[in-house]
Amino acid sequence: MRLPTTEAVLAVFLSLIVVSTCAKIKEGECEVCVKVLGRFITDVVTDDLKKDPKAIEEAFMDFCKNLRGKEERFCYYIGGLKTSATYILGAMAKPISWSMPALKVCEKLKDKDPQICDLKYDKQIDLSKVDLKKLKVKDLKKILSDWNEDQACKGCAEKSDFIRVVEELMPKYAPEAHKARQQKTEL
């Protein structure tokens, strides 16, 4: 039996829609989601917790309190923070209660809110090799922020002030990089 052309076109169109909405996550996509949920599943979720999706939601909200940067933004997107505008924690908690892996949970969340997979980690600065004088002030501030030392440079007015504070704190937060930099200057 042969389908009329309009019905055939409609059938092809509908099948393309179904395939596009069930798209799998590509490599490098959803990295923040996969990492945060992976850590949450391994560190927080227990067999007892898996029995109750509401308990998973509450545990995730507690988990989000200690996150910063892109990870905190991810929590905001899915409703893990009190200030969140949206709330799709149920779409995360139910699959976790079924022991679904983080990657698959992120695929489901991407269907609900595509911006979740737009989050990417900032590239890390290799402090052992980089010339601090060539970095932007924004990058120096980010280094201090990553170290939770935002207040360490409260009175800094110039780039040289930020460089000085980063160099002072480097032995505490990046000892390997500090040693490598000292060895480089000795040569």
In SS3 terms, the chain reads as CCCCHHHHHHHHHHHHHHHHHCCCCCCCCCHHHHHHHHHHHHHCCCCCHHHCHHHHHHHHHHHHCCCCHHHHHHHHHHCCCCCCCCCCHHHHHHHHHCCCCHHHHHHHHHHHCHHHHHCCCCCCCCCCCCCHHHCCHHHHHHHHHHCCCHHHHCCCCCHHHHHHHHHHHHHHHCHHHHHHHHHHHHC
The confidence score (pLDDT) of residue 167 equals 94
Pick from 12, 31, 19: nearest CA to 119: 31
Reply yes or no on whether the pLDDT at 170 is more than 90. yes
Higher per-residue confidence, 8 vs 50: 50
**Domains of the chain with bracketed CATH:** 26-118 (1.10.225.10), 132-186 (no CATH)
The confidence score (pLDDT) of residue 187 equals 67
Identity of residue 131: D
What integer is the mean pLDDT of 144-166? 91
- In the numeric block, the tokens 């989000």 are attached to 64
- The answer to whether 84 touches 78, Cβ cutoff 8 Å, is yes
- The answer to whether 87 touches 76, Cβ cutoff 8 Å, is no
What integer is the mean pLDDT of 46-69? 93
Q: What does the pLDDT look like over 126-143, one tens digit per residue?
A: 998 999 999 999 999 989
Reply yes or no on whether the pLDDT at 145 is more than 50. yes
The confidence score (pLDDT) of residue 24 equals 79
